[in-house]
Amino acid sequence: MTDKRKEKIAAVTEEVIEQIHGSLDSMPENVVTETPDDLTVDLMLHQKHGLTWMKWRENNKAPRGGILADDMGLGKTLSMISLIVSQKNDRKNFSEVKEKLAADMKKHFSYEKDVHPGYCTLVVAPASVIYQWEKEIKDRVKPGKLKVYVFHGPRRERDPMVLARNDIVITTYNTISSELGEDKDLIGQDSDDDNDGDNWYSKAKSGSKKGISKRNTKSVLTQIGWERIVLDEAHNIKNRKSLMSKGCCRLLAFKRWALTGTPIHNELWDFYSLVKFLRISPFSDQGYWKMHMSDMSGKVATERLNTLVKSILLRRTKNQICSVTNKPLVDLKPRKFEVVEIQLEGVEEKCYQHMMEASKQKAKELINQQDNYAGHRRRKGTNVIKNPFVVGNREVDLDDKFQMMSCLLVLLLRLRQACVHMSLTKQAIDLDAFKDDGGEGAGDVMDELEKTFGNISLGAEEMIAQENKAIDKIFEPEYASGKLKVLLEKIDQVIEKGDKW
């Protein structure tokens, strides 16, 4: 790298650090913003402080947004809903706020073709919680105050003008991948994005004609200039090379938020993925991050990271003492751990013992079979047997110790599932897998496997002949197994005591 380049990098970096330091001077601390009128519940004190901080971040210069990294249970979802409601009320009640936002958004998206700016928030969440978001909005916001649309399933809205009229659009990470995966070259990073180049400082700034984003215009999600994008469980994009991460980063938004209790899982590159999504230049450039931020052994890099984190990230924990009340943020009773030993009884015990003996026999056969082949190994791939389980590799290579161990672990998993409820194991074994030829030398092994698992069926038939109704019953999802009975009893005790659950 030439001296001239080093001087440019140093100058730009120092300018950015000074801007961040300047913003820290105006950062609010323990300033209360009252609960928005359109919410049906009163925010807790730490949420009111968080709302002030989030509004400060959105009204700041770029990047507008940040990372809310509160501990699980502190109400990140409600905090974000309160921000959306509060900002909408400000826009509705103060004409100057609406005019300024409209002008800023128009300028922000002015060089993007066929983009429809809208006062709409896109929430990207795991599929398991999208309807929880919808329910939370319905329960916590007064009726008619927010228009919500769940962008999920085969009949998704395709008109960007119609979609942008909603206040909140909720979708999943997998939908982002599929919607933006029609042309991966467009939604992925530019050709130089994954290299180690050092010319980040000379790239076009956002707002210039050269800075027009490459995006998949076939997706309706890329045809809207979102006022705000919120990533719930944002650690899902920690792999910066995944299609999911690239898709989220390529969506167009005026403000960006990442909600996660674990911004770093294994390495500092996990945090980089969030910074990249937030578009915090120059830290969002991979070449710069690798050169100046990936090595935390130096004092300068550590100070830069600390300054960046203080500016864009807010994290509170449940046991943290509030400086105003001198009490924990959330008054929770101490956790109580109780080990309850459960003894299976009757038909349930007989079925489990039968499965245990069959599993022991199968594990022993697999291990012995591998030992037999160890003395006269054949070419890799010839010693193959069919995996009897529905999940996992469909073939188990007897020469591959990892696959053999995986098969044994699945056996243990099935036994553990049987302890919870027999219905979990009902579809676990695929006897049809033994019908095909698994390769030279594997016939005897398959015969033994089929015989063993066939014995499970034969044994079940003998028990069914004796206790037909009882056997059928324990494999039905509606049956209350021994573990479920104890669990339900414990829940009843909690409800009777009036504990919060």
Tokens of 480: 């209350």
Q: Quote the DSSP letter at residue 62.
A: S
Please name the helix (run of DSSP H) or strand (run of DSSP E) that holds residue 66, with its range, or none. strand 65-68
Please name the residue that has the structure tokens 């900002």: 87
Spell out the domain ranges in the chain: 3-314, 346-491
| Strand 253-259 relative to strand 224-232, pairing | parallel
**Residues 6+ away with beta carbon under 8 Å from 420:** 481, 483, 484
DSSP helix/strand/coil, 289: helix
CA–CA distance, 493 with 81 (Å, rounded to integer): 34
Helix (H) or strand (E) holding 48: helix 45-59
Residue 318: Cβ-neighbour burial (10 angstroms; 0-12, 13-18, 19+)? middle
What is the second-level CATH architecture of the domain 3-314? 3-Layer(aba) Sandwich (3.40)
Token code pair at residue 500: 């919060």
Per DSSP (E only), the strands in 69-204 are 116-125, 148-150, 168-172
Supply φ then ψ for residue 230, to 5 degrees.
-120, 125
What pTM, to 2 d.p., does this model score?
0.70
Residue whose tokens read 């440019």: 8
The conformation of residue 80, written as its DSSP 8-state character, comes to H
Q: Which helix (H) or strand (E) holds 130?
A: helix 130-140
Give the number of other Cβ atoms within 10 Å of residue 361's Cβ.
13
Residue (of 42, 31, 117, 114) closest to 82 by Cα position: 42
Per-residue pLDDT of the chain (501 residues; tens, 9 = 90+): 566 666 666 676 777 777 777 777 788 888 999 999 999 999 999 999 999 999 999 988 778 899 999 998 899 999 999 999 999 999 999 999 999 999 999 999 988 888 889 999 999 999 999 999 999 999 999 999 999 999 998 888 889 999 999 999 999 999 998 888 544 444 334 434 444 444 444 444 444 444 445 555 678 999 999 999 999 999 999 998 888 999 999 899 999 999 999 998 888 899 999 999 999 888 888 888 888 787 777 787 888 888 888 889 999 998 888 888 888 888 777 778 888 898 888 888 888 888 788 778 777 777 777 666 555 554 444 444 444 444 444 455 555 666 677 778 888 888 888 888 888 887 764 434 333 444 444 444 445 444 544 454 445 555 555 556 677 778 888 888 889 899 999 888 888 887 655
Of the CA atoms within 13 Å of residue 450, those in its CB half-sphere come to 16
